[in-house]
Amino acid sequence: MRKRRISQFAPLLIALVGLPARGKSQLAHRLARHLNWNGESTKVFDCSEYRRRHMALYGSHDIFRADNQQGSAIRRKSAREAVQDAVLWLKDGNSVAIFDGTNITREQRRELNEYCISDMGFRILFIECVCEDQELLERNIIEILHYSADYKAMTEEEAVDDLRKKLEHYMRQYEPIDANLENNLNFVRVENMGETVTAHKVSGQKESGILGYLSGMRALPQTLYFTRHGESEYNVLGRIGGDAVLSPRGESYAHALAEYMNGLAVREPLTVWTSELHRTKQTAAEIIAPKRAVRALNELDAGICEGLTYEEMQERFPQEFAWRDQDKLRYRYPWGESYIDIMTRLRPVLSALEDEHNVVVVGHQAVLRCMLGYFLDAKLDELPYMNVPLHTIVKLTSYGYKYNIEMIKLPIDCVDTHRKQPKNCSINRSTADALVTVPSHYDTLPSNLWQNSEAQP
Amino acid sequence: MRKRRISQFAPLLIALVGLPARGKSQLAHRLARHLNWNGESTKVFDCSEYRRRHMALYGSHDIFRADNQQGSAIRRKSAREAVQDAVLWLKDGNSVAIFDGTNITREQRRELNEYCISDMGFRILFIECVCEDQELLERNIIEILHYSADYKAMTEEEAVDDLRKKLEHYMRQYEPIDANLENNLNFVRVENMGETVTAHKVSGQKESGILGYLSGMRALPQTLYFTRHGESEYNVLGRIGGDAVLSPRGESYAHALAEYMNGLAVREPLTVWTSELHRTKQTAAEIIAPKRAVRALNELDAGICEGLTYEEMQERFPQEFAWRDQDKLRYRYPWGESYIDIMTRLRPVLSALEDEHNVVVVGHQAVLRCMLGYFLDAKLDELPYMNVPLHTIVKLTSYGYKYNIEMIKLPIDCVDTHRKQPKNCSINRSTADALVTVPSHYDTLPSNLWQNSEAQP
């Protein structure tokens, strides 16, 4: 059979392959996050969720036996339903569907490949997850026991025994992808969560990006720290943008931050990434760790509005101000940037960060909204209104493909810079309506902005 | 030895590994083109060029024998010099150096790895090229015989014999990279120019991107066709941007283009990529091939100047007009785009295109300048002034990592839209100075713009 050539613009079905506990779901969800951020609308279709819909209660490993006919029927039906939903998703104009199943037999893969290419005209890429690293495998198993819906009703001992038996059933049926026997499959084999990645006949723009992403994946748990710079003189004055230095209270935060970071008992040493602007470098100055000033971490460029207060924006550019309130995510300042723009320039930094551990990012409000939004799977429209207050360390700790967030507020007073979306975003609104949510600020720098003062403007 | 962790922001040395004729140089130069376009300043250091400097005349394969002491000394010296220049390049603040040598022994690789990481603090990635595909290998050999400086003075028969013996010398010394014996190397193995790509311990943002690029590489020669849309009503009026339809002469070009394309005797079928604008779709309409409208191919967005003539731009926005002339590459129209912006949005299209054959791109002036500039290795500052006339098919045919360009002008009259950079780009220049290079155009649509007319406004 001459292989049909599918257009590079066709939607892509990704089918995972491999035994349970090989990291398939983690890979699926992390990849989906990455692709969605890069503008490819992607969704994971988890076969086990469909299976659970057909069984009020999990029961036991027994349904995974090859000779359990009722179990096989349920599993086949679930797989079919997951694929059907994936196909609907792609037909709806979306870009990538990830079918998170085991697909462990050659016959299953042949059928799926054929259906996708010949019947649907879609692209298809198989990703096989293999794990020979015992330590990694055990960590994956522990995560399944903790988080899988199947094991909620069992004791730990019962669950361990059940999962072990389930694995045995699967191992009996597993036929790893064989490049010679299955020469018409496009596939990637991922060993030990990215230690070795092999691509066979993989081409196409989406697929190349995916391959690159897979090789950079970090298998180990990671902790990342984020903080805005300390309060700057512009923050005090309610001015946006610019390259101001820290206020006295901002300097106090820099001391407190360094004290906190230098006091952490971390096994892997810290690294600090700042923007190229004074206020982040000044904030990071006393942290004892190698530092790197990264241009892509610079604050959103407010163009013609750099250095203005919101009141001045309303006075000089009321139309721009209203437009921004109408669609803060997409609004681009004349000669400046939009949130969408900074999302684009942050892509390489986010990819790099996914491979790091114990990095402290000292950044800015808009930039950190985007970065935290990425790790926390925020909806795009929510990004511009996320609350990332000054003088607060945000600690992210990975578990599986998700992140725990911890907000550590250091006790140094500061202004609030968070302006909520006002109710009235019309171009003809009154000045009062435009300014109703502007946080309070000083009009000139006070002569003594002492630390821990209760005084607020 | 605990492996030293090198920052993701450190410069990267790429060292190629493999026998002659395995496609190393082709890979090196294509990768360099891709990286440079993506903002990573990259240069190839070709070991054989250094070797040739030490030998007035090539002589013969004999210098590659393991037991030829003088030959070995020259080869070692050349390799050392290439690496030293690569190191200087990276110390100068550049991002990637590609060391195009054979590096076929474990000892060579161990030394290079050690030197790079421990002495220099650089990142290093080995890329091994393997070729089992006899057809591919023979094509590579033929290219070497044609293009290598070593064989200029030989008859073809002598050259074939010499290259065969040279290969034999190398094969005796070659130790392929072994993941177990050389466990501390980060490496990618590329088989048959990208059919199978294996990455071992590859991480880091630059490396991930490189891996993705390598898997999408097309080994086969390719032909690509580019053309601007036929003359549009806006072209006739000297207006920029907009979404106008074709002029009668533009329609004639659409017919002629279709006739030309439909008459080509191509073995692999054609595909047509247009922008989303009327004038490109209209131009491609009669070509018999699957068509795809690609948003990233839309013309540069001229923002507040969309639909204006140059005369009107000078009248309404003289300062903007002067700024654009001062730095046309980086100048971004208010609410619009710069050449740099469209280069960014073209990246995925260019990656996709590198994997295609017989694609006809029907595009726009600025977009095609960037695309052709990519394949022809143009300097960035030259891009905005490249001459890409209307009613002309640009045919690119690959040979090795380079492209031959052929301009096929179809005999349908049209206006000239190419405005050269004027001498005076100062903000205070006179209107006459600003408009001196504006090409002539009509002020209203003439009632009969007949085909092949000699009449020009």
Q: Per-residue pLDDT tens for B263-282?
A: 998 888 899 999 999 999 99
- Give B210's pLDDT tier (boundaries 50, 70, 90): very high
**Cβ-based neighbours of B225, under 8 Å, separated by 6 or more:** B261, B358, B359, B360, B361, B393, B394, B395, B396
Please provide residue A443's backbone torsions phi and psi, each rounded to the nearest 5 degrees: -95, -30
Range of the domain at B408: 223-434
Distance from CA of B421 to the nearest CA of A (A): 23
- List all residues of chain A from 215 to 244 with a beta carbon under 8 Å from chain B: 215-216, 218
pLDDT tens per residue across span B73-86: 888 999 999 999 99
Q: If residue A235 lies in a helix (H) or strand (E), which one and from where to where?
A: helix A233-237
Query: Is pLDDT at B99 greater than 70 in this prediction?
Result: yes
- Beta-strand (E) ranges in A295-448? 359-363, 392-399, 402-409
The C-alpha atoms of residue A15 and residue A92 are separated, in whole angstroms, by: 19
Q: Specify the pLDDT at position B454.
A: 43
Among the listed residues A229, A357, A364, A391, the single catalytic one is: A229
Does some domain include residue B444? no
* B350: number of Cβ within 10 Å: 19
**B193 and B158 housed in the same domain:** yes
The C-alpha atoms of residue B231 and residue B283 are separated, in whole angstroms, by: 9
Mean pLDDT taken over chain B: 91
Q: Specify the pLDDT at position B455.
A: 43
Query: Which residues on adjacent β-strands are paired with residue B261?
Result: none
- Give A411's pLDDT tier (boundaries 50, 70, 90): very high
User: Closest Cα to residue B20, out of B135, B137, B105?
Assistant: B137
Q: How far is CA B374 from CA B30, B94, B347, B349, B397, in A?
A: 11, 20, 10, 11, 14
Query: Is pLDDT at B12 greater than 90 in this prediction?
Result: yes
User: Catalytic site residue A229?
Assistant: yes
Q: Touching check for B451 and chain A: CB below 8 Å?
A: no
**A201 and A300 housed in the same domain:** no
Binding residues of A for substrate: 228-235, 279
Q: Specify the pLDDT at position A9.
A: 85
Does some domain include residue A3? no
The C-alpha atoms of residue B375 and residue B292 are separated, in whole angstroms, by: 21
Mutate to test the interface with A, among B34, B191, B197 (most CBs of A within 10 A): B197
ipTM score here? 0.76
Q: Do A200 and B199 touch (CB under 8 A)?
A: no
Chain B partners within 8 Å of A274 (Cβ): none
Does some domain include residue A456? no
Q: Specify the pLDDT at position B4.
A: 60
Does some domain include residue B399? yes
Q: Do B355 and A204 touch (CB under 8 A)?
A: yes
Regarding pTM above 0.95, the answer is: no
**A209 and A276 housed in the same domain:** no
B203-238 burial by CB neighbour count: b if 16+ within 10 A, else e?
Answer: bbbbbbbbbbbbbbbbbeebbbbbbbbbbbbbbbbb
Give the residue on B whose Cα is nearest the Cα of A179: B196
Pair B184, B41: CB distance under 8 Å:
no
**Exposed/middle/buried for A407, CB within 10 Å: 0-12, 13-18, 19+?**
exposed
Two tokens at A361?
């990012």
- Give A11's pLDDT tier (boundaries 50, 70, 90): very high
Binding residues of B for substrate: 228-235, 279
Transcribe A399-443 into DSSP letters: ETTEEEEEEEE-S--------PPPS---TT--HHHHHTTPPP--S
The three-state secondary structure class of A52 is helix
Q: Specify the pLDDT at position A400.
A: 81
Residues in chain B, overall count: 457
Q: Specify the pLDDT at position A449.
A: 58
CA angle A206, A211, A217 (to 5 degrees): 125
- Give B448's pLDDT tier (boundaries 50, 70, 90): low
Q: Do A352 and B203 touch (CB under 8 A)?
A: no
- Give B88's pLDDT tier (boundaries 50, 70, 90): very high
Chain A partners within 8 Å of B211 (Cβ): 197, 211-212, 215
* Domain C-terminal end among B183, B215, B247: B215
Q: Touching check for B125 and chain A: CB below 8 Å?
A: no
**A138 and A165 housed in the same domain:** yes
**B49 and B175 housed in the same domain:** yes
**B231 and B112 housed in the same domain:** no
Distance from CA of B188 to the nearest CA of A (A): 9
pLDDT tens per residue across span B188-203: 999 988 889 999 988 8
- List all residues of chain A from 135 to 194 with a beta carbon under 8 Å from chain B: 179, 194
Q: Specify the pLDDT at position A451.
A: 44
- Looking at residue A340, the DSSP 8-state letter turns out to be H
Q: Average pLDDT for residues B44-64, to the nearest whole number?
A: 84
Size of interface A-B (CB pairs under 8 A): 107
**A279 and A333 housed in the same domain:** yes
Q: How far is CA B106 from CA A57, B78, B120, B182, in A?
A: 57, 18, 20, 8
Q: Specify the pLDDT at position B399.
A: 85
pLDDT tens per residue across span A61-88: 888 888 888 888 888 999 999 999 999 9
Does some domain include residue A362? yes
pLDDT tens per residue across span B164-183: 899 999 999 999 999 999 99
Q: Do B204 and A290 touch (CB under 8 A)?
A: no
> Among partner residues A7, A212, A352, which is closest to B8 by beta-carbon distance?
A352
Q: Specify the pLDDT at position A6.
A: 83
Known catalytic residues of B are 229, 299
- Looking at residue A117, the DSSP 8-state letter turns out to be I
Does some domain include residue B452? no
* Domain C-terminal end among B215, B246, B278: B215
Give the residue on A whose Cα is nearest the Cα of B216: A203
**A284 and A160 housed in the same domain:** no
Mean pLDDT taken over chain A: 91
Q: Specify the pLDDT at position A149.
A: 83
Mutate to test the interface with A, among B2, B6, B208 (most CBs of A within 10 A): B208
Least confident of A408-412, B201-205, B232-236, B403-407: B201-205
**CATH code of the domain covering residue A64:** 3.40.50.300
**Cβ-based neighbours of A131, under 8 Å, separated by 6 or more:** A21, A22, A23, A137, A140, A191, A192, A193
Angle between helix B339-354 and B365-375 (nearest 10)? 50
- Give A413's pLDDT tier (boundaries 50, 70, 90): very high
Distance from CA of B159 to the nearest CA of A (A): 34
Q: Do B334 and A335 touch (CB under 8 A)?
A: yes
Q: If residue B189 lies in a helix (H) or strand (E), which one and from where to where?
A: strand B187-191
pLDDT tens per residue across span A428-452: 999 999 999 999 999 888 876 554 4
Q: Do B215 and A196 touch (CB under 8 A)?
A: no
More confident: B400 or A296: A296
> Among partner residues A196, A212, A344, which is closest to B200 by beta-carbon distance?
A196
- Give B2's pLDDT tier (boundaries 50, 70, 90): very low
Among the listed residues A207, A299, A320, A337, the single catalytic one is: A299
Domain count, chain B: 2
Q: Do A208 and B216 touch (CB under 8 A)?
A: yes
Binding residues of B: 228-235, 279
More confident: B232 or B73: B232
Distance from CA of A204 to the nearest CA of B (A): 6
User: Closest Cα to residue B194, out of B141, B129, B103?
Assistant: B129
Does some domain include residue B273? yes
Query: Is pLDDT at B437 greater than 90 in this prediction?
Result: yes
Q: Average pLDDT for residues A111-133, to the nearest whole number?
A: 95
**A405 and A258 housed in the same domain:** yes
Does some domain include residue B4? no
- Give B70's pLDDT tier (boundaries 50, 70, 90): confident
β-pairing verdict for A392-399 and A223-228: antiparallel
**B408 and B376 housed in the same domain:** yes
> Among partner residues A215, A348, A351, which is closest to B211 by beta-carbon distance?
A215
Please provide residue A228's backbone torsions phi and psi, each rounded to the nearest 5 degrees: -75, 160
Distance from CA of B346 to the nearest CA of A (A): 12
Q: Specify the pLDDT at position B56.
A: 67
**CATH code of the domain covering residue B316:** 3.40.50.1240
Angle between helix B24-37 and B339-354 (nearest 10)? 150
**B96 and B52 housed in the same domain:** yes
Query: Is pLDDT at B1 greater than 70 in this prediction?
Result: no
Q: Do B204 and A355 touch (CB under 8 A)?
A: yes
> Among partner residues A8, A215, A334, which is closest to B208 by beta-carbon distance?
A215
- Give B120's pLDDT tier (boundaries 50, 70, 90): very high
Distance from CA of B355 to the nearest CA of A (A): 7
> Among partner residues B199, B204, B216, which is closest to A205 by beta-carbon distance?
B216
Residue in the block written with tokens 């911890």? A406
The C-alpha atoms of residue B432 and residue B167 are separated, in whole angstroms, by: 65
- Looking at residue B126, the DSSP 8-state letter turns out to be E
- Give A455's pLDDT tier (boundaries 50, 70, 90): very low
Q: Specify the pLDDT at position A212.
A: 86
- Give A145's pLDDT tier (boundaries 50, 70, 90): confident
**A177 and A287 housed in the same domain:** no
pLDDT tens per residue across span A215-271: 877 667 899 999 999 999 999 999 999 999 999 999 999 999 999 999 998 888 899
Binding residues of A: 228-235, 279
